[in-house]
Amino acid sequence: MTEQTVDRTAEPTEPPAPVVPEQAGAGVAAEAPGAEGSTVAAEAGTVVGEPAAGESGATPRRDRRVLRAVARWTAAAVVFAAVGTGTAYGIASMERTDVPGLATGSDGRWDYPELVRPPLPEGSPGPYADDNPAGAHYADLRKLLLPLPAGATADKELAGDGNGWLDRKTFLAGFGKDDREDLSQLLTDNGLRHIAARGWTMPDGTRAEIFLLHFGTAEQVEGALLHEFLGYGEPGFLPAGTEAWSDDGSYPADAGVPDVITSVYVEAEPTGDEQSRHAYLAAGDTFAVISHTRKGSAPAVPFHQTVALQAQLLG
């Protein structure tokens, strides 16, 4: 800064009028939350600390007034910055539904954890790779089961044996007595290897079950299992305690997963005390049976969500 010569014979000039909040407040409020006080103070000094045009200097009294003005605006800036920081932190730490204007009602979907596919054994292709014509799932089938959503109570009966595989009788018990023998023979004829299963009950009473049936090749699943399980407008094997079914035309078309064949059914009226929904997935060498059952009616949204997410894990 160029040194100025002070004319001590000159009459003291009036100090510049204090900058009012309408003039300087905008600059302070624009500071990013958490700005350092030295930055704000320097900016405030630029506004109120420079001599007015035509002035040759300032008296010591004026210097003190300027310093006090700078101190006041610095303090104000620090307060505004602190308030801004606190507000930003408060909104950032709130849930979306806690912020006024951003609340969104639930559409009925369940809160599933993030889906993670298990790693493939080294050198093994995925089920739909060109060099995997059998459509084999080399990943552990038990780890391809959809995880439990938040609030679910696990069904211990579907936990399987000590190795996590479910016995055939437990799976067959979910179908009508008249169909169990034929279904069991179908599984035997096509070389059923394992059944991985998971089930749970939600707070609203919905019971969910997922069975992953593992066979030797995709041809067995798509040729034999699909042909027998998918009837004309209703499942080929009726679930236990049900009489009439229909295709679920409300399943979103864009929820499909490439290479996974999906068929969805809903129990037709009258359903009695409970209603069920069933879906069948053909994914390479694996055939999935998924069901939701609840007293009264079984909501479509969480069922469609369960089907779509399980298909993603198998796809």
For position 218, what pLDDT does the model report? 96
**Which two structure tokens, joined as six digits, stand for 240?**
């236990």
Annotate 136-155 with DSSP letters as a single string.
---S-GGGGSPPPPTT-EE-
Q: Where residue 285 falls among pLDDT bands split at 50, 70, 90? A: very high
Res 279 pLDDT > 70: yes
For position 203, what pLDDT does the model report? 97
For position 120, what pLDDT does the model report? 94
Interatomic CA distance for residues 239 and 211, integer angstroms = 14
Lowest-pLDDT choice from 3-17, 180-194, 204-218, 223-237: 3-17
Determine what percent of the chain is predicted with pLDDT higher than 90: 60
Name the more confident of 178 and 11. Answer: 178
pLDDT in tens, 222-264: 999 998 998 778 899 999 999 899 999 999 989 999 999 999 9
Res 79 pLDDT > 50: no
Interatomic CA distance for residues 17 and 9, integer angstroms = 24
Res 147 pLDDT > 80: yes
For position 71, what pLDDT does the model report? 43
Cβ atoms of 195 and 166 within 8 Å: the answer is yes
Res 11 pLDDT > 50: no
For residue 226, which amino acid is it?
A: L
For position 156, what pLDDT does the model report? 93
For position 16, what pLDDT does the model report? 39
For position 294, what pLDDT does the model report? 97
Query: pTM score > 0.75 for this model?
Result: no
Name the more confident of 109 and 34. Answer: 109
Lowest-pLDDT choice from 95-109, 201-215, 217-231, 276-290: 95-109
Averaged pLDDT score across all residues of the chain: 76
**Mean pLDDT across the stretch 171-184?**
96
Q: Looking at 57-206, which runs of residues are DSSP E strands?
A: 153-154, 194-201
Name the more confident of 40 and 264. Answer: 264
For position 76, what pLDDT does the model report? 40
Res 43 pLDDT > 90: no
Name the more confident of 185 and 26. Answer: 185
**Mean pLDDT across the stretch 45-65?**
41
Q: Percentage helix, strand, coil, to 5, in the chain? A: 35, 15, 50
Interatomic CA distance for residues 7 and 212, integer angstroms = 96
Res 185 pLDDT > 90: yes
